[in-house]
Structure 1
């Protein structure tokens, strides 16, 4: 016969699973009308290939992340020229470029996966389970509509190199809510909005962790934080924590309509 404590543990686990399938709270601001993955049965990917399929297919989905999904070496490596544009110290970022002039050019190798983000499909909800949900070594980019990303971490995108990878991207997206998401150690931007306008976007309760092993200031503070260049983007930012950054917090251009609270 099972002990009372064992039964309680099982029940607690079921409660946690049920809670993980439900989006917490509701988006405010421009993204308030986002409706997530609808009534789709929640799925939990077992490995990164399955996760990529769930994120990119045409089906409305609620996707639960219950572990770290590590893409770091999944697509191999590539080599090229990098420039020491901000110094040659051990804490200085380098930039991936074809030519460097006199800026100490060198040939180095980085991971391919981080340089190409996953294009998230329409009608997706991505939810972290407890504190376990994470995507490492690859970013997410929204080009469609009706997407929620909540309670996950996106991190470690060729952190040593500018142009190594962005954590969260938007390019012509509509109705997206990013909430309680931690971004850490990207190569370039924590959040980047492309030239195609993105409408009805809410970024809330996120933690932008700029603490860096490598940085353009060679001082442990990440420079590229938010780049918003879309023509007439509509973005609400509420209650986001920005830690140890040195610039672009945010950088606005292109007629962006930004509500920041």
Structure 2
């Protein structure tokens, strides 16, 4: 009897083992939805590594920064507020905030942390800020960070991506000292040094809200193979540098060599830098912006300066005062007709649509045509649709619900997303909030304020906005 049952048991064991292995592989492969379009095409992140599920801040830090390929799934929110203490020091009340207070309009401005490299054009005041927001989580190479449903929230701390081959999908970064300039950037892409250029980064279906400074910044090192897609950049805030309930510090794309795509995103209630591209004689930043939806932006959207080369097609501007800031520097092509770039690109470009908005004109468009001719094989592969309004999802973060292909979520809707009064995702200011997590050791990746710049911020851009001039950034 034993001689007959043993082979059967072995076969049954093998069947269960193979089924278990197939389940694990399927689970690992299905964590990320879709594949990246644009310049991030081919990015795999942690690949088929077995998913890990951090339950503590310590685990999350380790998984993101170690040298192992990782697929990290967030099945809970992480609250960093007060975990690293707070700082009270002399800061600045810039002139734009003094003017905001004098208006008595009901809106609040932003005070500023006062780094040594900046000047205060207003009055010195005491500022208090949460330390965690200025020590972002370090993300190494070959990492996938994905939120489960609406659970993947980073409250009070952002990310700094220093590695290559990174995917961040379906997370919400919020509440980074929104009351002060230099309070914290949501996502920084920066090599370990100015000579190290991160490659292959896909940011998809993310949401950013209530921050002190930039939503996304690519630093002086630059980055290649970057795609930001299907994401919700929510500028509604109580603390507005532009004194109108809209966040000014949107995006800053720099670098000696940067190539990136901005595809199918919803940028709303922002008053500037959405995005700002280039800024120094050494910058060479190419941005392809397509099928994005800009809504209710009270000042400028695009801001192209020295070193910028931008192709903007198929974007929808709804109630945007200034779709592009006036500048004689940088290069910007906004095709008025499909044939405008067909000769150079090998396909027709898609015109932008503007309603209740200012004008969108090209700047040194010939330079853009020359650049896209060199990149035509890559750009022809990107499907650009007719400009349309977009809708945020209800079961996940960002634009559009997940389906079989997260890379193409920018399905149009007929009506604008309903926008009510200015609100905050987190009602309390970060210093007022309480948390139940235990204090942890302060991150050592970088000191406060240094997260978004490596040298004096004066080098970051040609100053074109009175807001920027007033805080000497």
Q: Which residue of 2 aligns with 1:8?
A: none
The alignment yields a C-alpha RMSD, in angstroms, of 1.9
- Give 1 or 2 for the bigger CA radius of gyration: 2
3-state DSSP class of the match of 1:54? helix
**Structure (1 or 2) with the greater strand fraction:** 1
Cα drift, residue 260 of structure 1: 0.8
Mean Cα displacement is larger for which, 169-178 or 18-27?
18-27
Q: Is the 8 A contact 1:20 1:128 kept in 2?
A: no
Q: Which residue of 1 aligns with 2:199?
A: 174
Indicate yes or no: 2:210 matched with 1:152.
no
Pick from 78, 97, 102 the counterpart of residue 87 of structure 1.
Answer: 97
Cα drift, residue 131 of structure 1: 1.0
**Structure (1 or 2) with the greater helix fraction:** 2
3-state DSSP class of the match of 1:52? helix
Q: Equivalences for 1:101-140 in 2 at 5 Å? A: 101=120, 103-140=122-159
Pick from 187, 197, 201 the counterpart of residue 226 of structure 2.
Answer: 201
For 1:101 and 1:92, locate their aligned partners in 2 and report how far apart those are by CA, in whole Å: 15
The aligned length equals 246
Q: TM-score, normalised by structure 1?
A: 0.90
Q: Is the 8 A contact 2:144 2:168 kept in 1?
A: yes
For 1:138 and 1:175, locate their aligned partners in 2 and report how far apart those are by CA, in whole Å: 23
Q: Is the 8 A contact 1:21 1:62 kept in 2?
A: no
Cα drift, residue 19 of structure 1: 8.8
Pick from 164, 175, 185 the counterpart of residue 183 of structure 2.
Answer: 164
3-state DSSP class of the match of 1:245? coil
Aligned in 2, Cα 1:103/1:126: closer, same or farther, shift over 3 Å?
A: same
3-state DSSP class of the match of 1:132? coil
Q: Which residue of 2 aligns with 1:212?
A: 237
The structure 1 segments of at least 4 consecutive aligned residues displaced by more than 3 Å after TM superposition are: 17-21, 98-102
Pick from 62, 83, 93 the counterpart of residue 53 of structure 1.
Answer: 62
3-state DSSP class of the match of 2:35? coil
Q: Is the 8 A contact 2:221 2:257 kept in 1?
A: no
Indicate yes or no: 2:106 matched with 1:96.
no
Deviation by residue 1:189-230 (Cα, 9 ceiling, x = unmatched): 000010002110010001100001101012110001010111
Q: Which runs of 5+ in 1 are unaligned?
A: 1-13
Q: Which residue of 2 aligns with 1:11?
A: none
Cα drift, residue 136 of structure 1: 1.0
Pick from 237, 250, 253 the counterpart of residue 228 of structure 1.
Answer: 253
For 1:222 and 1:216, locate their aligned partners in 2 and report how far apart those are by CA, in whole Å: 7
For 1:233 and 1:41, locate their aligned partners in 2 and report how far apart those are by CA, in whole Å: 32
Q: TM-score, normalised by structure 2?
A: 0.50
3-state DSSP class of the match of 1:87? helix
Cα drift, residue 143 of structure 1: 1.2
